[in-house]
């Protein structure tokens, strides 16, 4: 019940395309859903986050869509660029602050 399942494991997108990464969770007590971006040899950095009282949040080219009834949320990267090539992690937490991470998606954006 504590798991967060992320897919796909890897993704190749052409420059200018849309990258979509999906996550699903079980625990209905989760109320904070961040996405992290990680470059090789670096720690994850917060990209965008959403709480379940909204269905969508957009920041620049990055959008989170949230479906509370389905217990799913997704990251959309519009106009994907080679600089977006990284590993992306979804996560979920409740009021303890403990994050449960998905397994990660390695994104490659081809020029």
Partner 1 sequence: DGGITQSPKYLFRKEGQNVTLSCEQNLNHDAMYWYRQDPGQGLRLIYYSQIVNDFQKGDIAEGYSVSREKKESFPLTVTSAQKNPTAFYLCASLQGGNQPQHFGDGTRLSIL
| Chain centre distance of CA 92 | 10
The C-alpha atoms of residue 35 and residue 87 are separated, in whole angstroms, by 11
Answer for which of 43, 53, 69, 70 binds partner 1 (CB under 8 A) is: 43
Q: Is 52 in the site for partner 1 (CB under 8 A)?
A: no
Judged by CB under 8 A, the stretch of 17-25, 42-50, 55-63, 78-86 that binds partner 1 is: 42-50
Answer for which of 25, 44, 77, 107 binds partner 1 (CB under 8 A) is: 44
Which C-beta is closer to partner 1: that of 5 or that of 110? 5
Contacts with partner 1 by CB under 8 A lie at 6, 9, 31-32, 34, 36, 41-46, 49, 51, 89, 93, 95, 97-99, 101-104
């Amino acid at each position: 019940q504590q798991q967060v399942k992320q897919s796909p494991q890897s993704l190749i997108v052409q420059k200018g395309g849309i990258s979509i990464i999906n996550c699903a969770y079980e625990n209905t007590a989760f109320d904070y859903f961040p996405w992290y971006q990680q470059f090789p040899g670096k720690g994850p950095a917060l990209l965008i986050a959403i709480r379940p009282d909204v269905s969508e949040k957009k920041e620049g080219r990055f959008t989170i869509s949230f479906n509370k009834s389905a217990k799913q949320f997704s990251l959309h990267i519009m106009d994907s660029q080679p600089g977006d090539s990284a590993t992306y992690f979804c996560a979920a937490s409740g009021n303890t602050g403990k994050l449960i991470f998905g397994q990660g998606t390695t994104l490659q954006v081809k020029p």
